[in-house]
Amino acid sequence: MKIGLTIGKFSPLHKGHQYLIETALQEMDKLYLMIYDSPETTTIPLTVRAGWIRALYPQVQIVEAWDGPTDAGYTPEIMKIQDTYILAKFHDKGITHFYSSEPYGDHVSKALKAVNRTVDLKRLAIPVSGTQVRSDPFSARMFVHDIVYRDHVINVVFLGGPSTGKTTLAEYLAQKFSTVWMPEYGREYWDNNQVNRRLTTGQLVEIARGHIEREDQMLLKANRYLFTDTNALTTKEFHT
């Protein structure tokens, strides 16, 4: 069997990482992926980053490295620490190929006694880096999968009774932060479907579902923040 391994922080997962993973999946019978905690690099929890990969590539065997070394570089001391940690995790997994897009592929593959399989080392196929995405996720939007991008957007929801300024505030803040805002879906539905100023229980469920669907779409268009005028919880409260 050809058994591959790749490692990284995936902070965040971008299409360069995906290109490497998909290349390995095409070439290997089995693929392990080790993802580091790396609190010094990213505030996105390891579980979230691992969740992206599990959702997109369920066939990959993921190892969460909660206690992995944090030092990076190419001094003999640092390379030894890295190699020792990786060997402790995978010495019995029969790794035949080590996949990376980094120079460390050379020393890690030697430690594993595996083939050094570098993919797009010069970033010509997918010109993106994790640093680029972290600094401006909106500008790097084309290089990030939808499920990853959504976790980079903070959804700010305004709750309250009618005519309390929610719409005005959402619209103002969207302009101030150069992003989008989402009008109250329930208001639109009411205008188009109410009969004698009444809605049925079933229609209230439709409002909640419609709001969530539209909110999901708007999150993908937002720049760091989405400002939302009420949400499905408001519909539940009015129904109650």
Q: What is the pLDDT of residue 205?
A: 84
Those residues whose C-beta lies under 8 Å from the C-beta of residue 130, and which sit 6 or more positions away, are 9, 10, 11, 12, 14
In which region does residue 98 sit, left (phi positive, over 0), alpha (psi from -120 to 50) or beta (all else)?
beta
Query: 84: exposed, middle or buried (C-beta count within 10 Å: 0-12, 13-18, 19+)?
Result: exposed
Span 191-208, pLDDT tens digits: 888 788 887 888 888 888
Q: What is the pLDDT of residue 240?
A: 56
Is pLDDT at 24 greater than 80 in this prediction? yes
Q: What is the pLDDT of residue 41?
A: 87
Q: What mean pLDDT do residues 42-46 have?
A: 93
Domains assigned to the chain:
3-134 (3.40.50.620), 153-239 (3.40.50.300)
Is pLDDT at 74 greater than 80 in this prediction? yes
Instruction: Return the beta strands (E) in 37-114 as ranges.
Output: 61-65, 97-100
Q: What is the pLDDT of residue 163?
A: 83
Is pLDDT at 231 greater than 60 in this prediction? yes
Whose tokens are 């229980």? That residue is 201
Q: What mean pLDDT do residues 162-186 have?
A: 93
Whose tokens are 């990482």? That residue is 17
Q: What is the pLDDT of residue 238?
A: 64
Q: What is the pLDDT of residue 51?
A: 98
3-8/30-36 β-pairing: parallel
